[in-house]
Structure 1
Amino acid sequence: MSPLQILFLNMISSSPPAMGLGVERASNDIMRYPPRSKGGLFTWEVIIDMIYYGIVLGGLSLANFVIVVYAIGNGNLGQNCNASPFGQECAPNDPTCDPIALEIACHQIYRARGTTFATITYILLIHAYNCRSLRDPIWTMKLYDNKILFWSVFGGLLTAIPTFYIPELNSKVFKQLGMGYEWGLIVGAVIIFEIFVEIYKFMKRRYLKPLEIVEGEGLKQQYSLNEYP
């Protein structure tokens, strides 16, 4: 990925949703939970969550890059593609250099790079809603309940699109190109990621210690952290 892509992910795709999560209101049944551990916010559950989600996100992003370059493309990584989407210029009278092949290879890399960038961007934005609860499924949460989070995610989804299709901005600044069929890979990766998230949360609800204490019932089989009216 290019430096500007990484900066975009940190500043645009991650920061506004994080601020939205920072103003997330408390759940209605918060007083029914036991006191939090004094060990800090980074419990073993949270640490394992980060590792698991990171592995799934990284695997899907890498898979999309490999599919574009090797499965659909010809596997040529090009030469000097960061300097120009047309690749390295051929030396005069060099019979071994094929400028068309170099250009195709670099265009292929730029599209694969854009696919990877879009995959990470859109998964991070959708994942912001998963982060509202450690264990609740995403369909139990109202999308517009947290307006700051909603508009930061919606704005992030729209803001990324011009980086792919505005000439010069895409190729010279972000080192990527507009995509076609690759959008199918991106949407597929987002869906697969969400499936993995929900399976993981289901396993936690089923096998981990419940989070809620109800007076007179001991540990009730209730895992909801976000009971919305």
Structure 2
Amino acid sequence: LVLADDNFATIVAAIEEGRGIYSNIRKFILYMLSANWGEIASVMVAALLGLPLPFTPVQILWINLLTDGLPALALGVDPPSPELMKKPPRPRGESIYHGMARFVTISTIVETFSWLAPFYLALKAGDPLARARTLAFTEAVLFELLLSFNCRSEDKFVYSSFKELIANRKLLWAVIGSLALQLAALYLPPLRYLLGTQPLSLNDWLLLLLFSALSIPLSPYLLRSKKG
């Protein structure tokens, strides 16, 4: 190791940058695993229950490439946590997936319920399949957008303060952008035709927001997963 400026603070800065990059890679992976397993589980559970598929292939592609993609990229450039340098070095050979299993499992279960519940309720009420799918599709987007905030920290509850919630401005704008894309998917005729969606009423949005709020209490499980 050669110090070009004869300053040991350079070593500290380099370690902090390396830890920050590693932490952001974990956030990206944690978010994508949680989101994608939720989609897989929802389709599998619907099939086991004898229900129609809750999403069309085009809707799944829309979620993965557009509404998920922007928050995932924003997590990759998350500013380093002030507690980052207070942590002990991780054990040599520790997997980058270490401690993720519990959070991914719990989030997958909650996601599956929150996505299939409005889908099932719509079908039971006699609504057209396209409307039921629109509810499940939009619920998946809303839930995953909130989930992206949970994946920002493994050390604190991000919803504990407004300052902490908006610390990553890129993530905030990514969520707003993804939400705007989803609104376009529901209310612009060309996208509605492409995605097979129907406009939602105010009551529909309130119901979906209620189910998507189930993602907020997942953060404490993220804190515990590092110890489990």
Match of 2:61 in 1: 7
Specify which of 136, 145, 151 is matched with residue 116 of structure 1: 136
Match of 2:95 in 1: 40
Aligned equivalents of 1:28, 1:184: Cα separation in 2: 36
Aligned equivalents of 1:19, 1:178: Cα separation in 2: 29
Q: Cα gap change, 1:17/1:185 in structure 2, threshold over 3 Å: closer, same or farther?
A: same
Shift of 1:160: 0.4
**1:68 counterpart letter in structure 2:** A
Aligned equivalents of 1:31, 1:201: Cα separation in 2: 20
Q: Compute the TM-score of the two structures, normalised by the length of structure 2.
A: 0.68
Q: Cα gap change, 1:109/1:191 in structure 2, threshold over 3 Å: closer, same or farther?
A: same
Identity %: 25
Match of 1:154 in 2: 176
Residue 68 of structure 1 contacts residue 182 of structure 1 at CA under 8 Å; is this kept in 2?
no
Note if 1:31 corresponds to 2:85.
yes
**2:103 counterpart letter in structure 1:** D
Aligned equivalents of 2:146, 2:71: Cα separation in 1: 10
Q: Cα gap change, 1:194/1:144 in structure 2, threshold over 3 Å: closer, same or farther?
A: closer
Specify which of 216, 219, 222 is matched with residue 194 of structure 1: 216
Unmatched segments (≥5 aa) in structure 2: 1-54
Q: Cα gap change, 1:161/1:143 in structure 2, threshold over 3 Å: closer, same or farther?
A: same
**1:144 counterpart letter in structure 2:** I
Task: For residues 22-41 of structure 1, give each alpha carbon's deviation from its aligned partner in whole angstroms, at most 9, with x where no partner exists.
Answer: 11122123222111232221
Unmatched segments (≥5 aa) in structure 1: 75-104, 210-229
Please give the residue correspondences for 1:1-229 in structure 2 after superposition, counting only pairs within 5 Å.
1-37=55-91, 38-43=93-98, 45-70=99-124, 73-74=125-126, 108-140=128-160, 142-170=164-192, 172-180=193-201, 181-195=203-217, 197-198=218-219, 200-201=221-222, 204=224, 208=227
Q: Cα gap change, 1:179/1:14 in structure 2, threshold over 3 Å: closer, same or farther?
A: same
Across the aligned residues of Structure 1 and Structure 2, the Cα RMSD in angstroms comes to 2.1
Shift of 1:46: 0.7
Aligned equivalents of 1:193, 1:67: Cα separation in 2: 20
Residue 119 of structure 1 contacts residue 186 of structure 1 at CA under 8 Å; is this kept in 2?
yes
Residue 110 of structure 2 contacts residue 214 of structure 2 at CA under 8 Å; is this kept in 1?
no
Residue 137 of structure 1 contacts residue 198 of structure 1 at CA under 8 Å; is this kept in 2?
yes
Shift of 1:63: 0.9
Shift of 1:198: 4.2
- The structure whose residues are more often helix, as a share, is 2
Task: For residues 110-158 of structure 1, give each alpha carbon's deviation from its aligned partner in whole angstroms, at most 9, with x where no partner exists.
Answer: 1110110111101111111100112421224523322211111111111
Residue 68 of structure 2 contacts residue 144 of structure 2 at CA under 8 Å; is this kept in 1?
yes
